[in-house]
Amino acid sequence: MSRLMWAVIPAAGVGKRMLADCPKQYLTLAGQSILDRSIAIFLENPQIAGVVVGISQGDAYWPESNYFSHDKVHVVEGGKERSDTVLNGLKYLQSKLDDRQQNVLVHDAARPLLTQQALNRIIQHQGDQGAILAMPSRDTVKWKMSDTQQAEKTLDRNNIWLAQTPQKFPLETLSCALQQANELGIDITDECSAMEAAGYQPDLIVGESSNLKLTLPEDLLIAEALLSFLSSQATTQNEFGVQQ
């Protein structure tokens, strides 16, 4: 039997582009907070040992979470940047786990529509470079000129993949990569970028278009519609055993 895996969910950000009166991870999506929905995805998977959530100091919303006292959910203090919050989560796991090269998952708090099928794909994937969920670009991609709003050239979209989460890497290796990137002042937008800077070439695992990151106000409307669709699909499968 394979070893159970831990997930780290950084949730210390504010999400200014959402234009909400609270951090976006605490906005309600079909009766539950976005963060609670993201946590639930991992707790419902039998291959997950637990979840480490990084929250900001003095977070007044977290005590209202359904998982505030859950025995499989552990909290660490967030940092100034996302990478700092992830590092704090990794340090917590390093203090708890015997095998510091055990694979861990890192997932955006604002991706509450990750399916179990996609999660299982990345958990079960075997590879020594790590892996991320990602989607091949369906759009034509333009390269903008550095000092104007004009298109300079068109990139080959066959080589363009849009990164998603979760992303999976060995605990100690990812921690070292993030620390090194911070020390060198490298801009880290996800864990994969830190691993790339350290010389790794993570595998791309096909994700799902529904696994969108909620960033703008209209994303909530899209998420509501997608959640309704996914729920109806699950109901159909439960009732008939096959998807119709």
Instruction: Using CA atoms of 146, 160, 84, 20 in order, give the dihedral in degrees to the nearest 10.
Output: 80
Confidence grade of residue 239 (pLDDT, cut at 50, 70, 90): low
For residues 235 and 64, the model is more confident at 64
Residues 76-92 as b or e (16 or more Cβ within 10 Å = b): bbbbeebbbbbbbbbeb
Task: Give the C-alpha separation, 244 to 235, whole Å.
Answer: 11
Give me the pLDDT at residue 129, please: 94
Confidence grade of residue 52 (pLDDT, cut at 50, 70, 90): very high
| Residue 242 confidence (pLDDT) above 60 | no
Give me the pLDDT at residue 238, please: 64
Q: Which CATH class is domain 5-240?
A: alpha beta
3-state SS class at 203: strand
- pLDDT, tens only, 97-154: 999 889 999 999 999 999 999 999 999 999 989 999 999 999 999 999 988 999 999 9
Q: Indicate the range of 185-189, 205-209, 229-233, 240-244 predicted with least confidence.
A: 240-244
Q: How far is CA 180 from CA 104, 108, 176, 184, in A?
A: 19, 22, 6, 6
16-20 long-range Cβ contacts below 8 angstroms, 24+ apart:
17/215, 17/216, 18/214, 18/215, 18/216, 18/217, 18/219, 19/217, 20/217
- pLDDT, tens only, 147-179: 899 999 999 999 999 999 999 999 999 999 999
Give me the pLDDT at residue 237, please: 67
The model's pTM: 0.93
Mean pLDDT across the chain: 93
Confidence grade of residue 244 (pLDDT, cut at 50, 70, 90): very low
